[in-house]
Amino acid sequence: MADTLTVIDNRSGKKIELPIEHGAIHAVELGKLGIVSYDPALLNTAACRSKVSYIDGDRGILRYRGYPIEELAEKSTFLETAYLIVKGELPTTSHFRMWQHNIKMHTMVHENLKQFIEGFRYDAHPMGILIGTVGALSTFYPEAKNVMDLESRRVQTRRLIGKIPTIAAFAYRHSRGLPYVYPDNELSYTGNFLSMLWRMTELKYRPDPVLERALDVLFILHADHEQNCSTTTMRTIGSSLADPYASVAGAAAALGGPRHGSANEEVVHMLHEIGSTDRIPALIKQAKSGERRLMGFGHRVYKNYDPRAKIIKQIAHQVFEVTGKNPLIDIAVELERIALEDDYFVSRKLYPNVDFYSGIIYEAMGLPVSMFPVLFAIARTAGWMAQWAELVTDEEQKITRPKQLYVGYDERSYVPLDQRREGGALETEVSGPL
Ligand code: ACO
């Protein structure tokens, strides 16, 4: 049997044979018949070849560079996983030492950047601060525009992974009116982040090892996730050869939406709103009627339990040993139980995703909900940079520029203002998108 797909245009009788490679056909080949593939939200379109992460949504599998997420969460550290994601292989001892050194070299930010953050309003959302500040970094490092230069790509990758926790922590301290804490490079990547968040007057901040490890594992779980919305944004911006700071700012903006990386914020709001387990059925009813979504449930790719959610659920109990139990966990567990027995969720294969339990842990650790998407962005920066480097070095890639199906007016003539009888769009098209 040939690895081909035969397409016959029944309007003209024209027939083409398309090679099938990796289970895909080249959509451009359809151009031979004068047709395009229409795929809103890219539900069934592969836009790149990638070696970074692999998901089998039906079996609930996630691997980074071939390594199962469960093994990495158990045995690796975030910085080692970041190396794996960026470089493609686990490091040797000496390479890992060098990598740690190279990342720590970049944890400081330019003093002007501090002033830049100070310019944000006292109650600015930290995700907005992160997006704006990362975007501003490109003005500090204009050489970053040399995206085809390997050495430049390496430096910007180390810089971004090094600086993003500092910017995130400064954004938090800004919203609290607290002085910024400079990096402490004697601590681990995650320990230093906790120090920059929480250090007060003590000379040396010593993170609780359980919380430090829990956050590190959460970072591992969030480090990459193939062609999700923010990574697709990173690749789309990167395809114009914009510098990586602009691309990461755009990716973070996409991550900040409630259907993506801000869902963890929404989950915690939702659980607080429920307040007690006896009010769960009312929420389930609203979700089933389409009035609202059950936040932290459902995924475009996972049609099974999100493997990350399973790991996070286990970590929650370790964290509560230190912080005390977050009462939201009881509501979440019961909500999951009820939803997974309900035909609406079962038939649509809606399972808890990574965001369902992560917010409960962050809240137990004392982090405000507004910081949840920021934590996500810290971890995902490794994945974004790996995917971006893959994009700019991929000879098959060009500037991203999808087609559209034009469904608007045919040609019509301009009518001078004083001759228009009908009301304008405001009156006639009240149901239009704007
Ligand atoms: N609650 C209730 N119903 C839902 C939910 C939900 N959370 N998610 C999907 N559905 C329903 C839809 O109403 C739809 O039902 P229908 O077929 O009767 O119309 C069906 O399930 C399919 O939903 P789609 O919106 O087509 O699924 P899609 O793949 O486009 O959306 C998404 C995936 C955005 C994650 C969605 O499930 C959702 O909004 N979930 C809540 C937000 C969330 O948790 N986001 C985090 C995702 S993980 C991440 O980004 C890190």
pLDDT in tens, 58-110: 999 999 999 999 999 999 999 999 999 999 999 999 999 999 999 999 999 99
Are the beta carbons of 380 and 168 closer than 8 angstroms? no
What pLDDT is stored for residue 420 in this prediction? 83
**pLDDT (tens digit, 9 = 90+) per residue, 2-39?**
999 999 999 999 999 999 999 999 999 999 999 999 99
User: Residue whose CA is closest, atom 14 of ligand 1?
Assistant: 348
What pLDDT is stored for residue 428 in this prediction? 54
Q: Choosing from 216, 224, 306, 355, which is the catalytic residue? A: 355
Based on the residue annotation, tell me whether 317 is a catalytic residue of this protein.
no
What pLDDT is stored for residue 1 in this prediction? 85
Tell whether the model's pLDDT for residue 432 goes beyond 80.
no
Packing angle, helices 372-392 and 244-255, rounded to 10:
140
Average pLDDT over residues 417-422: 82
CA atoms of 124 and 129, how far apart (whole Å) = 7
**pLDDT (tens digit, 9 = 90+) per residue, 136-195?**
999 999 999 999 999 999 999 999 999 999 999 999 999 999 999 999 999 999 999 999
Tell whether the model's pLDDT for residue 427 goes beyond 90.
no
Tally of residues, the chain: 434
Distance 268 CA to ligand 1 centre (A): 17
Q: Which atom of ligand 1 is nearest to the CA of 356?
A: 44
Q: Is 307 in the pocket of ligand 1 (CB under 6 A)?
A: no
Q: Which atom of ligand 1 is nearest to the CA of 267?
A: 44
Tell whether the model's pLDDT for residue 434 goes beyond 80.
no
Cα separations (Å) of 187 from 171, 279, 393?
Answer: 20, 44, 34
**pLDDT (tens digit, 9 = 90+) per residue, 403-418?**
999 999 999 999 999 8
Are the beta carbons of 17 and 193 closer than 8 angstroms? no
* Band (429; pLDDT cuts 50, 70, 90): low
CA atoms of 219 and 216, how far apart (whole Å) = 5
* Residue 31 tokens, joined: 């151009």
**pLDDT (tens digit, 9 = 90+) per residue, 368-388?**
999 999 999 999 999 999 999
* Band (235; pLDDT cuts 50, 70, 90): very high
Among 47-56, 122-131, 140-149, 419-428, the minimum mean pLDDT is found in: 419-428
* Residue 163 tokens, joined: 């600086």
* Band (297; pLDDT cuts 50, 70, 90): very high
What pLDDT is stored for residue 160 in this prediction? 98
Tell whether the model's pLDDT for residue 363 goes beyond 80.
yes
Q: Is 348 in the pocket of ligand 1 (CB under 6 A)?
A: yes
Q: What is the model's pTM? A: 0.93
Based on the residue annotation, tell me whether 260 is a catalytic residue of this protein.
yes
Q: Is 354 in the pocket of ligand 1 (CB under 6 A)?
A: yes
Q: Choosing from 56, 184, 260, 394, which is the catalytic residue? A: 260
What pLDDT is stored for residue 211 in this prediction? 97
Q: Is 267 in the pocket of ligand 1 (CB under 6 A)?
A: no
Distance between start and end Cα atoms, the chain: 52
Element spanning 386, H or E: helix 372-392
Based on the residue annotation, tell me whether 216 is a catalytic residue of this protein.
no
CA 73 to chain centre: 18
* Band (344; pLDDT cuts 50, 70, 90): very high
Distance 299 CA to ligand 1 centre (A): 6
What pLDDT is stored for residue 424 in this prediction? 63
Closest C-alpha among 168, 158, 171, 157 to residue 118: 171
Q: Is 355 in the pocket of ligand 1 (CB under 6 A)?
A: yes
CA atoms of 153 and 78, how far apart (whole Å) = 20
**pLDDT (tens digit, 9 = 90+) per residue, 251-281?**
999 999 988 998 898 999 999 999 999 999 9
